[in-house]
Amino acid sequence: MTSGPENRFILCGLCSNQLSNPHMLPCLHVFCLACLKDNCSEKSPDKFFCPLCVVEKNDRKSFNARPWHSFEKIVENEAEYEARQRRLAELPATESRRSSYIPEAFEADEDESSRRPSLPQAPVMFPCSMHADKLAESFCTKCEQLACPKCISSFHRRCQSFLDIKDAVEKKRDALDSVYSAIANNLVSCENLQSEHLKRLNEIEAMRMKLLLDIKTFRTTMVNLVLEKEKRLSDQVNQLMDEMAKVSRDREGMAKSYVQALNKQLDVLNFSLSAQGEGEILPLLPGLANIMESNTAKLSEFKSQDDVKLVTFSRDENCFQTLTTSLLGTLNVVGKAATPPAREEGKRDLTLTPFVSFHGGACDDVSEPLLTDIVLLMNGDVIMTDRDNKCVKKFNQSGRLLTRVMIDAIPSRIAIVSNSRAAVSVMNKKAIYFLSLFGTVRVLSFIRVSKIYSFLTSLGGKLLAGATNQCDCIDVFNEKGEIIRNIFLQKADRASIARPMYLTPTKPSVTIDHQTPASDKTTDTTTDILISDSGKQTFFRLDQNGRSQFTVRSTSSLTLTCPLGVTVHESGLTLLADRDTDSVLVFDEGGNFLKKALTLDQGLVKPCGIYAGHRGHVALTQVDGMVKIYKASVTSV
C-alpha cells in the first residue's frame, strides 16, 4: 500500500514531474531550474518570480533561487534504500523476513543503515553560496547567513557570533515551528474558504435550478388557473344556456301541439262549410266558444312568459393590469443568506450511513495492525496509531497509505492539539510526542513527563489531559510537561476507576478560527471530560474538579461489557464504542442512552477507537485492522 518514490517526493510546481536540479524560492516553493528559466524569468536571467504566489501580474516580485540540497540528500537515501531492498529480495524467504524486522533504537544496538531513512539522519552539508568548493559549516547569527571557514575569515571577519548549523537549527526551532504552524493554519483557512466557496457554488446552482423550476411551476400554475377559470365560465355558460334552451324547447313543443290541434279543428270546420253542413255544427257552437276562449287564454299566458335574456361576459381588467406590470412575478435579492435557525432542544436521532472502509495495514508492517486510536482531518484524511507496529499512519479517504512514521516507543492515543499538530502518548516511556498533521506526517518534537500517560486527550488552550495505566490519576498538563492540576486521584482505600481506556472533552478541543490567530499562551479550560472505563464496564463524566456528573452502567435495556472509544459529535450527542457487544451507542448530554447507531448486523466487528469529525463524518477502527468512515445525520424526533 505504500506509494512509489515518484509519489513520495515533491513534484515540480510547473512541469508536475520529479524535480531535476531543484531550486527553492524564498516563499518555500520549489521548481526545476530549467522550468524557472523557461517560464519565470522576466527582467534578469538570475531572478525569478514564483508562479504559484502570483495572483495578478502586478504582484510579481523577483527573487534569487537557491539549490535545494536537502532534496538531493533524500533522493540519495531513497536510492540506497531501494538498492538494499533489492539485495534483500535475492535472499531466501526466511532470511529476508528476519532481516526486515528492525529493533527499536532505545532497546538494543542496531544497524542504522538497515532502517529506511524517511529523513536524513545526519545534518546535510550545504555548499557555501559564496565559495562553491567549500561546505558551509557555521551559521552567522548576526548576518543570518550560512558561512564556510573562508567566509568567516573574509566576509564575516567582524562578526563575533557563530554557531554550528545543528545548534543554530535547534536555536531556531521555535521559529521553524511557528512558520510551520502559520503555514498549516493558512492551509486550513484556505481549505475551509475553498470548501465554503465550493459549497456556495453548489448552493447557487441549486438556487438557479429551484428558481427556474419555480418560474415554470408558477407559469404552469397560472395556466392551470386560467384553464380552470375558463372551465368554470364555460360550465356556467352551458348551464345557463341549457336552462334557457330547455324552457324554449318545452314551449316550442307545446306550441307545436297547439298548432296541430288547431289545424285539425280548422280542417274539420272548412270541410263542413264546403259541404254546406253547418247545421250539424250548430249544437257544438256553445262548447266551441268556451274551448276557443280557454285556448286564447292559454295562448296569452304562454306569450306572456319572459323573453330570452341577453347574457354578456365581463373581463377582469385587474388581471390584465397585473399581467402587464408583472407577467409572472418579480425577482427580489434580499442580501446575505439568513442565519440558520438555532437547534431546537429535544430528543434527537443520529443515523450513521457507511461511506468508505479499508484495511489499515501496510507492506512494511511486521505484524497485523492494532489501530488503537484515530483522528479525522478536515480534508478527509485519517491518522491513526498502530500499537503493534509502533508507528503512526496516515491514509486518505480512498484507503491509500500516505505516510508511515516510526516511533521509538509503543504509541497509544492521538489527540489534535492545533490546526497543524497532534500529540501522541506512548505506553512504555514517560514522553509525549508531537507530530505534524499536513503533508508528510513527521515527528516535530517530544516532551518528557513525570508519568507514563498511556491515555491522552486535548483540552484546548495548549492543555492536555492524561491518565496513567495504573489508574491512579488523571492530570492536566501543558505542552512543556508541567502539571497544572489534578482532576482525579485514586483513593488508597477504594478504587473508583479501574481502567480509563479513552478520554475526550465534552466540547471540541480545537476550534478553527479564520480571524483570530492562535495564541501561544496556555489558557485554562472548564470543559468536562468523558471517560470510558473498560475495567468497571462503565462510562462517566467528570468536571474539572473531579466531581462525577453522571455514570452509565449496564441496565435491562443497555449492556456495557468493554466500552472503549468515546467521542462527541458536533450535534452534542456522544458516541461510545463497545468492543465486546459489537456496537456503537448514542447518548445525550445528560448521559441518557438513546439508541445503538451501529451493530453487528450492520457489519461492525469489535470497534476500538472512534472520532467524530468537523463535517459530521465519523471514523472508527476495528480490532481486525479495518477502518470505517460513516456519514452522520441528526434529526429531531
pLDDT per position as a tens digit, 539-557: 889 888 888 888 999 888 8
| β-bridge pairing 30-32 and 47-48 | unpaired
CB 625 within 8 A of CB 631: no
3-state secondary structure of 416: strand
- Total residue count of the chain as it appears in this document: 637
* Angstrom distance (rounded) from CA 589 to CA 361: 35
* Angstrom distance (rounded) from CA 437 to CA 445: 13
Handedness of CA 10, 13, 14, 16 (dihedral sign): positive
253, containing H or E segment: helix 173-274
**What residues contact 597, with CB distance under 8 A and at least 6 apart?**
350, 351, 352, 575, 584, 585, 586
8-state DSSP, 614: T
pLDDT score of 155: 85
pLDDT per position as a tens digit, 382-417: 999 999 999 999 998 888 999 999 999 999 999 998
- Mean local confidence (pLDDT), 91-100: 54
Share of the chain above pLDDT 70, in %: 81
**What residues contact 607, with CB distance under 8 A and at least 6 apart?**
564, 565, 577, 578, 579, 582, 583, 584, 598, 620, 621, 622, 623
| β-bridge pairing 473-478 and 483-489 | antiparallel
Handedness of CA 451, 503, 181, 12 (dihedral sign): positive
8-state DSSP, 453: -
CB 53 within 8 A of CB 73: no
pLDDT per position as a tens digit, 96-141: 444 444 444 444 444 444 444 444 445 556 777 778 778 887 888 8
Q: Could you tell me if residue 189 is left (phi over 0), alpha (psi between -120 and 50 degrees) or otherwise beta?
A: alpha
The packing angle between helices 173-274 and 285-303, to 10°, is 160
Cα 524 off chain centre by: 29
pLDDT per position as a tens digit, 239-289: 888 888 888 888 888 888 888 888 888 888 778 877 878 788 888 888 888
pLDDT score of 520: 46
* Angstrom distance (rounded) from CA 452 to CA 449: 7
pLDDT score of 10: 77
